[in-house]
Amino acid sequence: MDRGATHFTHWFQPQTGSTAEKHDAFLSLKSNFSPNGEEVTAIDAFSGSQLLQAEPDASSFPSGGMRTTFEARGYTVWDTTSPMFIQEGPHGTSVLYIPSVFISYNGDALDEKTVLLRSTSAISKACSELLNLIDPVPVGAQPKVSHVYTTLGTEQEYFLIDRSLYSLRPDLKHTGRTLVGNLPPKHQQMDDHYFGRVPSKVMATMSEAELELFRLGVPIKTRHNEVAPQQFECAPIFEEASLAVDHNLLTMDVLHKVAHKNKLKVLFHEKPFKGVNGSGKHCNWSMSTDRGENLLDPTVKPETNYRFMLVLVSVLHAVQQYSGLLRTSIASSSNEHRLGACEAPPMIISAFLGEHLTEVLNSVEEGRPIKNFSVPEIQSIKLGGTVLDVKVASLPSITRDLTDRNRTSPFAFTGNKFEFRAVGSKQSPAFPVTILNAAVASAIQDVTAALREQMGDKPYPSDADKVAVIKKFIGSSKAVRFEGDGYSDAWIHEAERRGLPNIKTSPEAFEQLLNPHHSNMLTKLGIFTQSELQSRHMILQERYAKDILVEANTLSTLLSSQILPSVFEYRGSLAQNVNALKEISADDAAPELATLKALTPAVKDLQAAIAKLDKTIHDMHQVGDDAVAEAKFACAHVLPAINVARAAADKLEILTADKYYPIPHYSELLWF
Ligand code: ADP
Ligand code: MG
C-alpha cells in the first residue's frame, strides 16, 4: 500500500495462451454496533490466506474435460519462486500481482506454470545426481551440488503497425493475421529493414515499454529491427526459466499496452502477413548449478571437460529420444504458417553444434586426437592485411566465435547455451520449456544409469568410464545432429533416411503427447499425470480447430459483406460509364468494357470460393463433438478452403480500383 497498491490479484497462466487475473480491493467493511445502531466503516484488509490462495470460478477456463461445470472449482496458489510486482492503473489505483499456479480441486495442473515448476525440479534432481556422481564428495559431507536450475532468455519478435489501420482490418482484429492481401512491390527483398535505424515512433514505444519493464524487474537488454518491414525484436538478460517465462508474458503485455498508448498495434502472431517473414520466439536455454556455473559452457578444452561433455550428450540424447514431443510443444495453427516456410526452422527437429564441437564429438567417437582449434589463425580473423594486400591497420583483429551461426536449425548450440528457435512468437514459452526440461531430465537419468553400469563396483566413475559413456551417447544420438541447410529439400530426404520424424500438421503433432514413449517419460518424471496429458491433448486439439474456424468465419464475412460488395460497386460504376460512353461510340466504351469483362471471371471465382468456404464451415459443424476429428477436418478441409478463397480475393484486390477497396492494403499496413 505504501507503493500505491489498492488492489491485489493472483496472476496465473491458464491454457489459453495468455495470463489471467481477477482483482480484489484491499477493502473490507467493519460494523460497529452501538445503542445508536450499526455504524459501518471501510477499512483496508489483506489476510495471509488471501495471499496464499484464491478460488476463482474456473468453469470457463479450458480444462480438456478434466472438470465438469458442477465441480468447476479451481485454486490459485502463490508461486513463491516468482517475485510479486505492482502495476499502475488509472485514477491512482495500482494492483499488486501475486504470481500463482492454477490447480483443480484434486490438485491437477490446469495451467502452464505448475508443469513448468515440476519440470524444473525434475531436471534439478536428475542433474544434481549426475554432478555429484562425477564430482564426488567425501563420505558424510554435504553434496556439492544441491540444486540445478534451468536458465532462459527469450528473444521476442513482433510487428508494430498503425492502430487506426489495424482497426479497419477485421481479419487482424479477430485472428491476428491478414486473411487477404497482396505484397507491395517493395517489401523485404532489399534486406534494408534488418538491423536498420529504428523508426522514431517505434523507438518511442520500445523505450517506454523497456522503462516500464525495468520498473517491473524485467531486464530487457536488446532491441532491433527484424527482417520484415515493421518487424522488431527485443530480448532480456536471461533468468531462471520460470521467472523468465513470467517476464516474457509481462513483456508481451507491456508492449501491447504501450503500443496502444502510442497509437500503434503490436502483432505477436507468427505470420501476420503472407509473403514476408513471420515471427518467432527464440528460447535460449541452459542449465546452471546453485553456484552459478553454466553447465553448457564448453570452457577452453571441452574435450577434457567431462562434465560439459556428459551434459552435452544428455541434451543430444534428449532431442534424439523426444524430437516428436519437442515438435508437439511448438505446434499451433499460427506457427504452422511459419515453420518450414524457408524463413523458420523446419518441422524436423534436429540439433546444430557448429564446427568446433562437431570436431570434438567426432574425435571422441573415433578415438583420435582432436584437430587443434586453439591455434591463433583459426580463432581470430585478421582484418589488417587481407586478400588484395589491402592493409586495414585501423581495424583490430577479432575473435571468431567457434560456434559459427546456422540460422536454419530449430535447436542450435550458440556458444554456451542451446537456442530453441522453432518456438512461436505468440505462444507462452512455458510449454516448450517444460517439454525440453522433461526430455533433458529423462536423458540425464539415462546417462547417469549408463555411467553407474559402466563403473561397476567402483564408488566413482573413472575418466575412462566417463569417456566410454560419452562415446556411447555420441553414437546413439548422431542422427539428430545436422550442420547443413535446414531449409533445403535435401535435408527433408536426408532426415527421412535417418528416420527422424517430420510431423507436418499440428493435429498429428498433438497426438505425439499420448504416444506411450512420450507419455511414459512425462508421467514417470512426475511432470504430468496421464489425465493431465489427456486434458492437454484435448485442449490443444480444440484450440486448433477453433482457431481455424474463427479464421474461416472471419474470412467468409469479410469477403461477403465487404470485399464482394465493393467490387460490385466498382463494376456498377464501370457499367454506367460503359453505357454513357456507348452513346458516343462503341469504340469509346471499349476500354471500360474490357476492364469490366476482366473482372467477371474473377468475381465468379470469388463467389464460388465463398460458397465452398461456407459449405466447409457447415460440414465442420457436422463432424460432431470430437476435438480430434474437428482439428483434423479443419486442417484437411477448412484451411485449404481458406487458401482458395484468399487466392480469389487477392486477384480481385489487384483488379479493383483502390478507391473501392474497403480495407487497408499491405502497402499501407506495412509502412508508417
Ligand atoms: P542472438 O540474436 O545473437 O541470438 P540475443 O542477444 O538477441 O542474441 O539473445 C540471446 C539471448 O540468450 C539473451 O536473452 C541472453 O540473455 C540469452 N542467454 C545468454 N546466455 C544464456 C544462458 N546461459 N542461458 C539462457 N539464456 C542465455
Ligand atoms: Mg538468437
- DSSP labels, 334-375: TGGGTTTSSSS--SS--EE--HHHHHHHHHHHHTSPPP---S
Tell how far the Cα of 155 is from the centroid of ligand 2, in angstroms.
6
CA of 373 to the centre of ligand 1 (A): 24
Question: Using an 8 Å Cβ cutoff, are 489 and 610 in contact?
Answer: no
- Given the candidates 2.60.40.1260, 3.40.50.620, 3.40.50.2300, 3.30.590.10, the CATH classification of the domain at 116-136+145-177+189-354+403-528 is 3.30.590.10
Fold: same for 116-136+145-177+189-354+403-528 and 545-669: no
Report pLDDT for 128: 96
43 neighbors 132 (Cβ within 8 angstroms) = no
For the CA of 286, the closest atom of ligand 1 is: 24
CA of 199 to the centre of ligand 1 (A): 24
Q: What is the mean pLDDT of the chain?
A: 92
> pLDDT tens digits, residue range 513-555?
999 999 999 999 999 999 999 999 999 999 999 999 999 999 9
Q: Under a CB-based contact definition with an 8 Å cutoff, are residues 243 and 429 in contact?
A: no
Fold for 5-109, please state it: Ubiquitin-like (UB roll) (3.10.20)
Question: Residue 137 pLDDT > 80, yes or no?
Answer: no
Residue 203 CB–ligand 1 contact under 6 Å: no
Mutate to test the pocket of ligand 1, among 284, 420, 421 (most ligand atoms within 8 A of CB): 284
Ligand 1 atom nearest 154 alpha carbon:
14
Residues 147 and 289 sit within 8 Å (Cβ to Cβ): yes
pLDDT of residue 144: 84
Mean pLDDT over 331-351 rounds to 86
CA of residue 378 to ligand 1 center, whole Å: 24
pLDDT class of 602 with cuts at 50, 70, 90: very high
Cell representation of residue 649: 480475393
Distance 282 CA to ligand 1 centre (A): 9
Contact (Cβ atoms closer than 8 angstroms) between residue 232 and residue 223: yes
> Which has the minimum average pLDDT: 354-368, 376-390, 582-596, 604-618?
376-390
pLDDT band (50, 70, 90) for residue 416: very high
Instruction: Determine the pLDDT at residue 194.
Output: 83
Residues 382-419 as b or e (16 or more Cβ within 10 Å = b): eeeeeeeeeeeeeeeeeeeebbeebebbbbbbbeebbb
Please tell me the distance from the alpha carbon of residue 466 to that of residue 480, in angstroms, as a whole number.
Answer: 22
Ligand nearest to the CA of 415: 1
**ipTM score:** 0.96
Bridge partners, residue 100, by sequence: 78
Question: Where exactly are the structural domains of the chain?
Answer: 5-109, 116-136+145-177+189-354+403-528, 545-669
What percent of the chain is modeled with pLDDT above 90? 79
Identify which ligand lies nearest to the alpha carbon of 224: 1
The residue written with cell numbers 481458406 in the block is 642
Residue 576 pLDDT exceeds 60: yes
pLDDT band per the 50, 70, 90 thresholds, residue 387: very low
Nearest CA to ligand 1 atom 14: 153
Q: Does residue 221 surpass a pLDDT of 60?
A: yes
Exposed/middle/buried for residue 221 (C-beta within 10 Å: 0-12, 13-18, 19+): exposed
CATH 3.30.1370.160 fits 545-669, yes or no: no
Handedness of CA 210, 216, 222, 223 (dihedral sign): negative
Output the CA–CA distances (angstroms, integers) from residue 78 to 52, 63, 623, in the order listed.
5, 20, 41
**pLDDT tens column, 644-654:** 999 999 999 99
